[in-house]
A and B are shown apart, each in its own frame.
Chain A
Amino acid sequence: MSHSILLVDDEEGIRTVLGLSLADAGYNVSVAATGEEALRLFDQSRPDIILTDIKMPGLSGLDLLKRVKNIAPDVEVIMITGHGDMQLAIQSLKQDATDFITKPINDDVLEIALNRAHERISMRNQLREYTENLENKVREQSARLVEAERQLAAQQMMDGFSVGLKALLNAMDSTLGGVFNELPCFVAVHSRYLEIIAANDLYREKLGNLVGHQSWEAYYGRDKDSNGCPVLTAIREGRGSRTEEMLVDKTGKGIPVLVHTAPILDNDGEVELVLEISVDTSEARRLHEELRLTRHRYGQLFDEAPCYITVQDKQFRVVEANRRFREDFGDAVGGFCHEVFVHRQTPCTGCPVQRTFNDGQPHQYETVVTSRSGEQYNVLVWTAPLRDAAGNITEVMEMSTNITELRKLQDRLSNLGLLLGSTAHGIKGLLTALDGGIYRLGSGLERNNTERVHDSYEDIRHLTDRLRKMVLDLLYYAKKRELNWEVVLASHFAPEVAALVRPKAEAQKVRFTIEVAPDAGTFEADAGALSSAFVNLLENAVEACTADRAPDKKHAVHMAVSGLPDRVEFCITDNGVGMDRETREKLFTLFFSSKGAAGTGIGLFVASQTVQQHGGSISVGSEPGKGTTFVITLPRTLPDSAKSEPRHPAPAT
C-alpha cells in the first residue's frame, strides 16, 4: 500500500508527529503549513489523500476542500477538527469530505478514517475499470469463451456461452440499465461446410429448428456464395464481423438483426466452426427511425419557420442558425449574435438571451437588425431556455420575427388616421370661410356693393389656394412616394426654389436673399419633392415675418447654401416672430400649426418627411421675438434604402 498523502496543518508539532506515524504506516507523506502551500503541492504531486486541519489562517481547511474537489473530485480529504467545530465538520462532509477526526488525534480513529479513504479509492478504481474497460472485458470474455469452446462439443459450448453471455450481460447491466438483458439474441453454431449444427432456444422458437439446414437459410436474400451470409465471410476470411442483416422467421416475416460472427479455429489454424450471434434490432430500429423522423421534423420546423432562429451559448456565440437566418445574415455559426445580427462589438443592452440565462424565463425584445446586404429590419425577439438532462440552462434559443412591414404599415396607418382626423378640422374651417366668401360675393352683387364683391372675390381666391395646397399636401402624404432621384447642382436648385417663394415674400414686404457658396457642389435628390419641402420651409419663414407685429422692423429671410465633404447644408434664417421651445419641439409633428386657422399643420411635417427620406436632417434654432434658423442637411449620396427604386432617367437640373 503506497498511497500518497498530503498533511496540512498550521501547527508544526502535529505536522511532525502525524507525519512520522503516517510514514511509518507506509504512506508517502508530504506536508504543508498553509492551505495555499497545500494547493501548490497538490498541483505538483496530486496525492491520493489529503489530511487537513479545518481551521488555519489564510485558506481554511474547508476552502482547501472546495478548491481541490473542484480540481479533482476523486481526491479523498479527511478533515482534522478541534472541539466545537462540529458545524464545520458537517459542512465539510456536505462538501464531500471523506471523514473527519477530532483533536487530539486518536490513532484508531485516524486508521478508520484512512481505511475509509482507501475503500473509496479502490471502489472508485474498480468502478472506473468496469466502465472504462468494458469493451476490453467483452473482448477478453469472448476470447476466453472461444478458447473454451475449442475444447468442447458444439452443444456444450452453447451452454458455456449462454452462461458467459449472461454474466457478460449482467456485468453490463449496471451501465446499460438492463436493456441488454431484454434484447433477444439468436445464437447458432455453423460448421465449416455452412451447415447449422446447433441453435439456442430462442433461435429455434422464432426462426424454426434449422439445425441441419444451410447457414444462409435463416437470412433474407442471401444465398450460397456470390451473395453469401456473414457465416460464409467468417469461414473465408477467418475472422469475425459485425453486420446488419435481415433474418426470416418461421412465418416468413423479416427480423432486422445485428449479426456478430466469430470463427473457431482448429488446432491447425483452420476455421472449424463459426459462432453466430444475432441481436434483434427491430425495436432499436423503430426507435431510431422515430428519432430520425422527429429530428427531421424539428429540422424542417427549425429551417422553415417564418422567423430567424438561432441557438446561442452563454457567450452569445451562435451554435446553430436556421436557414432563414443564414440566408439573411450569412453563416453565423461560431460568431457572436451581436456581431452577426446587430453589428455591434458588445452584447446589446437588455439582451433577452442574457436575461433568459439569468432567470430561465422566456423574454421578449424589439430591436433593429442589419442584414448582410445592409437592410434594416425591425424584429421582435423571443427567447427560450434550452436545458440539459440535469435541468441546467446550457443554451438559449432565440426566435426573431421580422416585423418591418408591420411597423411601417402601423406608422403609416396611425399617421394617416391622425392626418385625416386633424385635417377634417382644418377643412371645416376652410369650408366655412368659403361659405362666407360666397355669401359675401352674392350679397355684394345683390346690393351692388362693388367693394364687397372685389374683396370677397380676393378672399375666395386665397381660400381656394389654401384648400388646394392642403389637398395636395394630403395627397402627397397619403401616397407613398419613391424618390425619383437625380444628381442635383446646389447652385441651380437653390435659386429655383427661391424663385418660387420670392413673389410671396415681396408681396408681404419681406426681403428675400440667397447666397450659394462655391463649394456647395452636387447632391443626389428628388428635386421635385425636395423643392416643395423647401418652399414649405421658406414660406413658413416668410409667414413668421408677416406674423411679427413689431413696428418698424425690416423683415428679411435669407437662405445660405454651403458644402461639406459629404453633405450640403441649407441655412434658412428669418427675423420674424420666433418660437418658444414647445413650438420648436412639436414643429415637425403632424398637424401642429402655430398659425392658427391659417396653417394646415401638414406642410412642415411633409417637409421633414421628405428631408428624412433623403437621409438628411433638419435642426431648428429659434427665439421668440428674434427669429428662427432652420438648418437642412442633405447627404451628397443618397442612402441605399432611399434608392430601392431604380434610378429614373431624368434630365439634369
Chain B
Amino acid sequence: MPHKILIVDDDPYIVKYLVDILSDNGYATCSASDGADAMAVLEREKPDLVTLDLEMPNEWGPRFYRKMTKEPAFKDTPVIVISGLSGIHLAIRNAVASLKKPFDPNKLLEIIRQTLGEQERSQAAQASDDE
C-alpha cells in the first residue's frame, strides 16, 4: 500500500501541484485548505506524513500542528513545513524540514523518501522488539 500524504495549503494551485508531484511519484494524497479542515481530514485519512503551509485563513499552520501533536495517534506523524514566510524554521520546531516557497520538488521528494524510509525502519525495529 502506498504511503499517504496530507497536503495542507490554502492555495488551490499549490495543492494541485503537490498532489500531482506526489502522485506521479507513487504516493497517495489527500488535502485540506486550512487548519480546521486539516484536522478532519487527518482523522479520516490517517496520513503517513503532512506538508503544512503556515499562513492560512481561519486556522494557521502552527495551531493545527499543536492540536495534531496532542492526539496520541498523530503525535509522531512527520510534518514538512512549506511556506513563503521567512523564519519558518522557527515556527514549528519539530518539523522534519522547512521548505521555503518556491521550493525544489526534488528536494521535497528526497526528504519525504528519507523520512518515510527511516520511519519504516524504526517501526520494523519496534515490531521485531515486540516479538
Question: Which residue numbers of A lie inside 8 Å of B, CB to CB?
Answer: 424-426, 428-429, 431-437, 439-440, 443, 452, 455-456, 459, 462-463, 594, 596-598
A251 to chain B, nearest CB (A): 85
Whether A436 pairs with B56 at a CB distance below 8 angstroms is no
A-B pairs with beta carbons under 8 Å apart, 6 shown:
A429-B11, A432-B101, A433-B11, A436-B13, A439-B17, A440-B20
B84 and A459 contacting across the interface, CB-CB below 8 Å: no
In whole angstroms, how far apart are the Cα atoms of A437 and B14 in the complex?
A: 9
- Complex partner residue of B14 from A424, A426, A436, CB under 8 angstroms: A436
User: When the two chains form their complex, are residues A425 and B10 in contact, meaning their CB atoms are under 8 A apart?
Assistant: no
| Given A428-B84, A594-B57, also A459-B13 (CB < 8 A) | yes
Given contacts A433-B13, A437-B17, A463-B13, contact A428 B105 (CB under 8 A): no
> Could you tell me if B20 and A436 are in contact, using CB atoms closer than 8 angstroms?
yes
Contact B103 A459 (CB under 8 A): no
Are A429 and B21 in contact, CB atoms less than 8 angstroms apart?
no
Q: CB-nearest residue of chain A relative to B57?
A: A596
A432 to B105, CA, bound (A): 10
Task: List which B1-49 residues lie within 8 A (CB) of chain A.
Answer: 9-11, 13-14, 16-18, 20-21, 24
Q: Could you tell me the dominant secondary structure of chain A's interface residues?
A: helix
Chain A residues near B20: list those with CB within 8 A.
436, 439-440, 443, 452
Size range of the chain B interface in the assembly? 20 to 34
Contact of B17 among A426, A432, A596 (CB under 8 A): A432
Contacts of B14 in A (CB 8 A): 429, 432-433, 436, 597
- Tell whether A459 pairs with B16 under 8 Å between CB atoms, given A429-B84, A596-B11, A597-B10: yes
Query: Which B residue sits closest to A443, measured CB to CB?
Result: B24
Q: Please pick, from A431, A455, A596, the residue contacting B101 in the complex, using a CB distance under 8 A.
A: A431
Nearest CB of chain B from residue A597's CB, rounded to whole Å:
4
- Per the bound structure, the CA–CA distance linking A84 and B73 in Å amounts to 95
A462 to chain B, nearest CB (A): 8
Q: Kindly report which residue of chain A lies nearest to residue B15, judged by CB atoms.
A: A436
Minimum CB–CB distance for B99 against chain A, Å: 10
Q: Nearest-CB distance from A642 to chain B (Å)?
A: 36
Given contacts A428-B84, A452-B20, contact A437 B13 (CB under 8 A): yes
B102 to chain A: which residues have CB within 8 Å?
Answer: 428, 431-432, 434-435
Checking B16, B57, B84, B100 against A436 with a beta-carbon cut-off of 8 angstroms, the contacting residue is B16
Report the minimal beta-carbon distance from A84 to chain B, rounded to whole angstroms: 82
Give the complex CA separation of A434 and B16 in angstroms.
11
Please tell me if B85 contacts chain A, counting CB pairs below 8 Å: yes
| CB neighbours of A425 from chain B (8 A) | 55, 84-85
CA distance A597 to B17 in the complex (A): 15
Write the nearest CB–CB distance from A550 to chain B, whole angstroms: 17
Q: A462 vs B55: C-alpha distance in the bound complex, in angstroms?
A: 22
